[in-house]
Amino acid sequence: MARTVMWHLQRIADSGVFEGHGQFNNLWDEYRFEAHEGPHEQLDHAWDSVIDPIVIDNLDRVPDPEKRLLFFGTNEGWEYGDERDNTEIAPINEELLADEIRRNLIRVAINTPHPAEEN
C-alpha cells in the first residue's frame, strides 16, 4: 500500500519547498529528499496533510477481511495472535494500519536513490 501512496505522490507537482537543492519533478521526489536529508520538523504538518488523505482513501477501499489480514502483519497483530485462540475475529484498527503504511512509505523512500543522484 505504501507503493500506492508513492504512485499518487508521483502524480502531484513538486511544491518548490526544496528549491535550490536539486531538480524535483513531483512530490515523491521531494518526499525522498526529505527522507534522505530530513526530517525537517517544520514540514511535518504539511506532509501529513498531503499523505494522510491518500492513506485513508486507500484504506477505505480495502475490504474488512483484508484489513484483518493486514493487521496480522503488524507487531500488534503478531502479539494479538499469540494471546488469543483461533475462534476470535481480529479487530480492525485503521489508525494502526495507517501508521504502518506511513512507516513503510518512509522505508521505500529511504531505499530508493537520493533524488540528487538521479539528475
Cα(21)–Cα(34) distance, integer angstroms: 11
Cα(10)–Cα(77) distance, integer angstroms: 31
Question: 70-112 pLDDT, tens per residue?
Answer: 887 777 776 665 555 655 666 778 888 999 999 999 999 999 8
Q: Which three cell numbers stand for residue 72?
A: 496480522
Cα(93)–Cα(58) distance, integer angstroms: 14
The neighbour count for residue 63, using CB atoms within 10 Å, is 8
| H-only helix segments in the chain | 2-10, 27-37, 44-60, 64-71, 75-83, 94-110, 115-118
Question: 37-51 pLDDT, tens per residue?
Answer: 887 888 888 899 999
5-9, 36-40, 58-62: least confidently modelled range: 36-40
Q: Whole-number mean pLDDT of the chain?
A: 84
Q: Would you state the pLDDT for residue 119?
A: 53
Q: Would you state the pLDDT for residue 63?
A: 93
Is 116's pLDDT higher than 80?
A: no
Q: Would you state the pLDDT for residue 81?
A: 59
